[in-house]
Copies of this chain bind each other. A is one copy, B any other.
């Protein structure tokens, strides 16, 4: 880092780009191997080999496998956060400022947002790995939790903004709502994944359609609620 800063600006930029590319390839390889074999079983050697680098490249980017893990978790969570933000910015279907929102419109908005977030089997394996690794490694937990909380706060901000866009007020704190919706949808993803082999088994968005719009409607109320006043 110190050497790159001392170099000419152009050279520094190239070094920095190359360095970034190396990091991304190591993270991609770790994603594959953690999903396939698990965090404990995937060795640094195997990750380097999959990425096509030497151990030297690894250690000039990460102190150890734990730091790689934290960086990977942050990257993957951040990617989905951006997808959600982009989907909100792209415009919400069924949103008509002149009309009060009905359950059907909420359902279309929910489907639009869920459809925008990347999901595949490997990501679900990786999430389950994250849960276990963090519980088994206290040295990782503190950093992981801090980053996770930041992300949950950002998601809570998005929920607040979204509620305002929809002209509604939340009946529970935004952070609690984020945790509830997030864990509920993960349960749908998990069930859909496990039943994936069964013909006619519902997909995760189909499962979510059964509860998420009603929950979103009932845990919020119109900002100008006619018949219902805030308590106290």
Binding site for B on A (CB under 8 A): 38, 40-41, 121, 124-125, 128-129, 131-132, 134-136, 138, 141-142, 144-145, 171-173, 176-177, 179-180, 182-184, 186-188, 190-191, 193-195, 197, 207, 210-211, 214-215, 218-219, 227
Alpha-carbon distance A195/B144, docked complex (angstroms): 11
- Which B residues lie within 8 Å of A124 (CB)? 135
Alpha-carbon distance A231/B135, docked complex (angstroms): 45
Given known A-B contacts A180-B180, A211-B177, A214-B172, A194 and B145 have beta carbons under 8 A apart: yes
A128 near B132: Cβ-Cβ < 8 Å: yes
Closest residue of chain B to A133, judged by CB?
B128
- Which B residues lie within 8 Å of A128 (CB)? 128, 131-132, 135
Given known A-B contacts A179-B188, A184-B183, A214-B219, A197 and B135 have beta carbons under 8 A apart: no
- Which B residues lie within 8 Å of A187 (CB)? 179-180, 182-183
Closest residue of chain B to A131, judged by CB?
B128
B131 near A135: Cβ-Cβ < 8 Å: no
The answer, among B131, B132, B218, B227, for a CB contact under 8 Å with A219, is B218
A135 near B142: Cβ-Cβ < 8 Å: no
B180 near A184: Cβ-Cβ < 8 Å: yes
Alpha-carbon distance A186/B186, docked complex (angstroms): 11
